[in-house]
Protein backbone atom coordinates (compact mmCIF):
# COMPACT_ATOMS: atom_id res chain seq x y z
CA UNK A 1 0.00 0.00 0.00
CA UNK A 2 2.87 2.30 0.90
CA UNK A 3 4.35 1.50 -2.49
CA UNK A 4 1.15 2.74 -4.13
CA UNK A 5 1.40 6.16 -2.53
CA UNK A 6 5.04 6.31 -3.59
CA UNK A 7 4.13 5.47 -7.19
CA UNK A 8 1.40 8.12 -7.19
CA UNK A 9 3.84 10.64 -5.73
CA UNK A 10 6.42 9.79 -8.44
CA UNK A 11 3.75 10.17 -11.15
CA UNK A 12 2.71 13.55 -9.79
CA UNK A 13 6.34 14.70 -9.48
CA UNK A 14 6.97 13.69 -13.09
CA UNK A 15 3.76 15.45 -14.14
CA UNK A 16 4.83 18.61 -12.31
CA UNK A 17 8.29 18.52 -13.92
CA UNK A 18 6.76 18.16 -17.39
CA UNK A 19 3.85 20.55 -16.85
CA UNK A 20 5.83 23.45 -15.40
CA UNK A 21 7.51 24.45 -18.71
CA UNK A 22 4.44 23.46 -20.74
CA UNK A 23 2.18 25.69 -18.60
CA UNK A 24 4.61 28.60 -18.96
CA UNK A 25 4.61 28.12 -22.73
CA UNK A 26 0.81 27.78 -22.88
CA UNK A 27 0.45 30.86 -20.68
CA UNK A 28 2.53 32.90 -23.12
CA UNK A 29 0.68 31.39 -26.06
CA UNK A 30 -2.68 32.32 -24.50
CA UNK A 31 -1.67 35.99 -24.49
CA UNK A 32 -1.06 35.91 -28.24
CA UNK A 33 -3.81 36.46 -30.72
CA UNK A 34 -4.98 33.13 -32.14
CA UNK A 35 -4.51 32.63 -35.89
CA UNK A 36 -7.55 33.27 -38.07
CA UNK A 37 -8.35 29.67 -38.88
CA UNK A 38 -11.14 30.52 -41.31
CA UNK A 39 -8.87 32.74 -43.37
CA UNK A 40 -6.07 30.16 -43.17
CA UNK A 41 -8.26 27.40 -44.57
CA UNK A 42 -9.81 29.69 -47.19
CA UNK A 43 -6.31 30.67 -48.29
CA UNK A 44 -5.37 27.03 -48.60
CA UNK A 45 -8.49 26.28 -50.63
CA UNK A 46 -8.18 29.37 -52.86
CA UNK A 47 -4.65 28.68 -54.04
CA UNK A 48 -6.00 28.24 -57.53
CA UNK A 49 -8.24 25.35 -58.47
CA UNK A 50 -6.41 22.21 -59.39
CA UNK A 51 -7.18 20.27 -62.54
CA UNK A 52 -8.75 17.51 -60.45
CA UNK A 53 -11.03 20.01 -58.69
CA UNK A 54 -12.04 21.49 -62.07
CA UNK A 55 -12.82 18.04 -63.41
CA UNK A 56 -14.87 17.22 -60.30
CA UNK A 57 -16.84 20.48 -60.55
CA UNK A 58 -17.65 19.93 -64.22
CA UNK A 59 -18.62 16.32 -63.51
CA UNK A 60 -20.88 17.44 -60.67
CA UNK A 61 -22.56 20.09 -62.85
CA UNK A 62 -23.01 17.67 -65.71
CA UNK A 63 -24.48 15.02 -63.43
CA UNK A 64 -26.85 17.49 -61.82
CA UNK A 65 -28.13 18.58 -65.24
CA UNK A 66 -28.59 14.97 -66.31
CA UNK A 67 -30.33 14.18 -63.06
CA UNK A 68 -32.67 17.16 -63.46
CA UNK A 69 -33.58 15.99 -66.95
CA UNK A 70 -34.24 12.45 -65.76
CA UNK A 71 -35.93 12.96 -62.42
CA UNK A 72 -36.98 16.61 -62.47
CA UNK A 73 -36.26 19.16 -59.75
CA UNK A 74 -35.69 17.65 -56.34
CA UNK A 75 -34.84 18.93 -52.88
CA UNK A 76 -31.33 20.26 -52.13
CA UNK A 77 -30.68 17.32 -49.81
CA UNK A 78 -31.40 14.74 -52.50
CA UNK A 79 -29.48 16.70 -55.15
CA UNK A 80 -26.43 17.05 -52.89
CA UNK A 81 -26.56 13.40 -51.99
CA UNK A 82 -26.68 12.55 -55.70
CA UNK A 83 -23.74 14.85 -56.44
CA UNK A 84 -21.79 13.25 -53.59
CA UNK A 85 -22.41 9.73 -54.89
CA UNK A 86 -21.51 10.87 -58.42
CA UNK A 87 -18.23 12.31 -57.12
CA UNK A 88 -17.36 9.07 -55.33
CA UNK A 89 -18.15 7.00 -58.44
CA UNK A 90 -16.05 9.37 -60.60
CA UNK A 91 -13.13 9.18 -58.19
CA UNK A 92 -13.34 5.41 -58.05
CA UNK A 93 -13.39 5.19 -61.84
CA UNK A 94 -10.39 7.49 -62.02
CA UNK A 95 -8.52 5.31 -59.51
CA UNK A 96 -9.27 2.09 -61.32
CA UNK A 97 -8.50 3.59 -64.78
CA UNK B 1 10.15 -1.06 -7.88
CA UNK B 2 11.55 -0.34 -11.30
CA UNK B 3 10.27 2.01 -13.96
CA UNK B 4 12.10 1.05 -17.14
CA UNK B 5 10.55 -0.04 -20.44
CA UNK B 6 8.40 -2.86 -19.00
CA UNK B 7 6.28 -0.21 -17.31
CA UNK B 8 5.81 1.79 -20.49
CA UNK B 9 2.09 0.99 -20.72
CA UNK B 10 1.68 2.14 -17.11
CA UNK B 11 3.31 5.49 -17.85
CA UNK B 12 1.30 5.91 -21.03
CA UNK B 13 -2.01 5.29 -19.21
CA UNK B 14 -1.22 7.29 -16.09
CA UNK B 15 0.82 10.17 -17.51
CA UNK B 16 1.20 10.16 -21.30
CA UNK B 17 -2.44 10.16 -22.34
CA UNK B 18 -3.59 12.63 -19.63
CA UNK B 19 -0.79 15.04 -20.63
CA UNK B 20 -1.72 14.85 -24.30
CA UNK B 21 -5.39 15.43 -23.49
CA UNK B 22 -4.71 18.37 -21.19
CA UNK B 23 -2.25 20.09 -23.54
CA UNK B 24 -4.43 19.38 -26.59
CA UNK B 25 -7.43 20.93 -24.85
CA UNK B 26 -5.43 24.06 -23.97
CA UNK B 27 -4.07 24.49 -27.52
CA UNK B 28 -7.50 23.93 -29.11
CA UNK B 29 -9.08 26.50 -26.80
CA UNK B 30 -6.37 29.04 -27.64
CA UNK B 31 -6.82 28.44 -31.38
CA UNK B 32 -10.54 29.19 -31.13
CA UNK B 33 -10.08 32.17 -28.79
CA UNK B 34 -11.86 30.49 -25.91
CA UNK B 35 -10.98 30.73 -22.21
CA UNK B 36 -9.19 27.72 -20.73
CA UNK B 37 -11.14 25.17 -18.74
CA UNK B 38 -10.29 23.72 -15.35
CA UNK B 39 -11.31 20.16 -16.34
CA UNK B 40 -14.28 20.20 -13.99
CA UNK B 41 -16.25 18.03 -16.43
CA UNK B 42 -13.46 15.45 -16.48
CA UNK B 43 -13.51 15.33 -12.69
CA UNK B 44 -17.28 14.85 -12.69
CA UNK B 45 -16.93 12.03 -15.21
CA UNK B 46 -14.52 10.33 -12.79
CA UNK B 47 -17.04 10.78 -9.94
CA UNK B 48 -19.48 8.76 -12.05
CA UNK B 49 -16.72 6.22 -12.73
CA UNK B 50 -16.00 5.97 -8.98
CA UNK B 51 -19.66 5.35 -8.24
CA UNK B 52 -19.77 2.69 -10.97
CA UNK B 53 -16.69 0.92 -9.57
CA UNK B 54 -17.97 1.11 -5.97
CA UNK B 55 -21.41 -0.24 -6.89
CA UNK B 56 -20.09 -2.99 -9.19
CA UNK B 57 -16.96 -3.78 -7.17
CA UNK B 58 -17.13 -7.59 -7.67
CA UNK B 59 -17.01 -7.12 -11.46
CA UNK B 60 -14.03 -4.75 -11.25
CA UNK B 61 -12.02 -6.75 -8.69
CA UNK B 62 -10.35 -9.11 -11.20
CA UNK B 63 -8.86 -6.09 -13.02
CA UNK B 64 -7.09 -4.75 -9.91
CA UNK B 65 -3.43 -5.58 -10.46
CA UNK B 66 -2.34 -5.37 -6.79
CA UNK B 67 -3.98 -8.37 -5.05
CA UNK B 68 -3.96 -6.82 -1.57
CA UNK B 69 -6.26 -4.02 -2.73
CA UNK B 70 -8.94 -6.20 -4.33
CA UNK B 71 -10.99 -6.47 -1.15
CA UNK B 72 -10.95 -2.73 -0.51
CA UNK B 73 -12.28 -1.50 -3.82
CA UNK B 74 -15.51 -0.04 -2.40
CA UNK B 75 -13.72 1.91 0.33
CA UNK B 76 -11.04 3.18 -2.07
CA UNK B 77 -13.48 4.37 -4.72
CA UNK B 78 -15.88 5.84 -2.18
CA UNK B 79 -12.97 7.91 -0.81
CA UNK B 80 -11.89 8.84 -4.34
CA UNK B 81 -15.43 10.02 -5.16
CA UNK B 82 -15.41 12.36 -2.14
CA UNK B 83 -11.91 13.60 -3.01
CA UNK B 84 -12.98 14.18 -6.63
CA UNK B 85 -16.02 16.19 -5.52
CA UNK B 86 -13.76 18.41 -3.40
CA UNK B 87 -11.41 18.87 -6.37
CA UNK B 88 -14.39 19.62 -8.60
CA UNK B 89 -15.54 22.43 -6.32
CA UNK B 90 -12.01 23.92 -6.30
CA UNK B 91 -11.83 23.59 -10.11
CA UNK B 92 -15.19 25.26 -10.72
CA UNK B 93 -15.32 27.93 -8.02
CA UNK B 94 -11.67 28.94 -7.90
CA UNK B 95 -9.55 27.91 -10.91
CA UNK B 96 -12.15 28.18 -13.67
CA UNK B 97 -13.63 31.34 -12.14
CA UNK B 98 -10.22 33.04 -12.13
CA UNK B 99 -9.45 31.80 -15.64
CA UNK B 100 -12.70 33.34 -16.90
CA UNK B 101 -11.98 36.63 -15.14
CA UNK B 102 -8.55 36.84 -16.76
CA UNK B 103 -9.83 36.13 -20.28
CA UNK B 104 -10.57 39.13 -22.46
CA UNK B 105 -13.68 38.19 -24.40
CA UNK B 106 -13.40 41.05 -26.89
CA UNK B 107 -9.75 40.36 -27.77
CA UNK B 108 -10.36 36.57 -27.55
CA UNK B 109 -7.16 36.06 -25.58
CA UNK B 110 -5.60 36.51 -22.15
CA UNK B 111 -4.05 39.85 -21.32
CA UNK B 112 -1.88 38.40 -18.52
CA UNK B 113 -0.33 34.95 -18.43
CA UNK B 114 -2.61 32.30 -16.90
CA UNK B 115 0.36 29.92 -16.51
CA UNK B 116 -0.13 29.33 -12.76
CA UNK B 117 -3.83 28.62 -13.14
CA UNK B 118 -3.16 26.38 -16.13
CA UNK B 119 -0.55 24.50 -14.12
CA UNK B 120 -2.98 24.08 -11.20
CA UNK B 121 -5.79 22.93 -13.51
CA UNK B 122 -3.53 20.49 -15.36
CA UNK B 123 -2.11 19.05 -12.14
CA UNK B 124 -5.61 18.52 -10.80
CA UNK B 125 -6.69 16.76 -13.99
CA UNK B 126 -3.63 14.53 -14.02
CA UNK B 127 -4.04 13.70 -10.34
CA UNK B 128 -7.65 12.67 -10.98
CA UNK B 129 -6.65 10.62 -14.05
CA UNK B 130 -3.75 8.96 -12.24
CA UNK B 131 -5.40 8.30 -8.87
CA UNK B 132 -8.48 6.77 -10.49
CA UNK B 133 -6.68 4.54 -12.96
CA UNK B 134 -3.48 3.61 -11.11
CA UNK B 135 -5.17 0.68 -9.33
CA UNK B 136 -5.88 -0.94 -12.71
CA UNK B 137 -2.56 0.05 -14.28
CA UNK B 138 0.09 -0.61 -11.64
CA UNK B 139 1.01 -3.71 -9.65
CA UNK B 140 0.84 -7.44 -10.14
ipTM for the predicted complex comes to 0.79
Report yes or no on A89 lying in a domain.
yes
User: Angle at CA B58, nearest 5°, toward B2 and B131?
Assistant: 40
Q: Give the pLDDT score at A65.
A: 57
Q: Give the pLDDT score at B74.
A: 94
Quote the CA–CA distance of B108 and A84 in Å, as a whole number: 37
Q: Give the pLDDT score at A41.
A: 72
| Distance (Å) of CA B110 to CA A91, B25, B102 | 46, 16, 6
Report yes or no on A86 lying in a domain.
yes
- CB-based contact, B127 to chain A, within 8 Å: yes
> Which is more confident, B106 or B87?
B87
- Is B116 a residue whose pLDDT tops 70? yes
Q: Give the pLDDT score at A3.
A: 77
- CB-based contact, B20 to chain A, within 8 Å: no
pLDDT in tens, chain A (97 residues): 667 788 889 989 999 999 999 999 999 999 988 887 777 777 666 655 555 555 555 556 555 555 555 555 555 566 677 777 777 778 777 777 6
Q: In this predicted model, what pLDDT tens digit does every residue of B25-59 receive, in sequence order?
A: 889 998 888 888 888 888 999 999 999 999 999 99
A30 closest CB neighbour out of B19, B36, B139 = B36
Mutate to test the interface with A, among B12, B115, B137 (most CBs of A within 10 A): B115
Q: Give the pLDDT score at B87.
A: 95
Report yes or no on A42 lying in a domain.
no
> Which is more confident, A48 or B112?
B112
Quote the CA–CA distance of A96 and A82 in Å, as a whole number: 21
- Is B97 a residue whose pLDDT tops 70? yes
Report yes or no on A23 lying in a domain.
no
Report yes or no on A85 lying in a domain.
yes
Q: Give the pLDDT score at B124.
A: 93
- CB-based contact, B80 to chain A, within 8 Å: no
- Is B86 a residue whose pLDDT tops 90? yes
Note down the domain range covering A95.
49-97
Domain tally, chain A: 1
Quote the CA–CA distance of B63 and B135 in Å, as a whole number: 9
Asked whether the beta carbons of residue B110 and residue A30 sit closer than 8 angstroms, the reply is yes
Report yes or no on A55 lying in a domain.
yes
Q: Give the pLDDT score at A68.
A: 54
Confidence tier at B70 by pLDDT (50, 70, 90):
confident
Asked whether the beta carbons of residue A34 and residue B108 sit closer than 8 angstroms, the reply is yes
Residues of A in contact with B139 (CB under 8 A): 4
Torsion of CA B24, B30, B33, B39, to 10 degrees: 50
Report yes or no on A17 lying in a domain.
no
Quote the CA–CA distance of B124 and B92 in Å, as a whole number: 12
Q: A61 vs chain B: nearest CA distance in angstroms?
A: 35
Q: A17 vs chain B: nearest CA distance in angstroms?
A: 11
- CB-based contact, B37 to chain A, within 8 Å: no
Give the number of other Cβ atoms within 10 Å of residue A52's Cβ: 10
Residues of A in contact with B119 (CB under 8 A): 19-20, 23
Mean pLDDT of chain B: 88
- Is B110 a residue whose pLDDT tops 60? yes
Quote the CA–CA distance of B18 and B45 in Å, as a whole number: 14
Mean pLDDT of B93-106: 91
pTM score, whole prediction? 0.68
In B, minimum Cα distance to A16 occurs at B123
What percent of chain B is predicted at pLDDT more than 70? 95
B30 closest CB neighbour out of A19, A23, A34 = A34
Report yes or no on A36 lying in a domain.
no
Q: Give the pLDDT score at B49.
A: 94
Amino acid sequence: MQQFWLVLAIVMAAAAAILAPISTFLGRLSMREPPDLRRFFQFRHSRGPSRLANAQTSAMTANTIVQKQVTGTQSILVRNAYAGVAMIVQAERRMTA
Amino acid sequence: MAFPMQHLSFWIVVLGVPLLVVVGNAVARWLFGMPHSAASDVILAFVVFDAAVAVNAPEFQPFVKYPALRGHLVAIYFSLAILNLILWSVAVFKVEHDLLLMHNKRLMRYTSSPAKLLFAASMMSIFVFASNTIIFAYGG
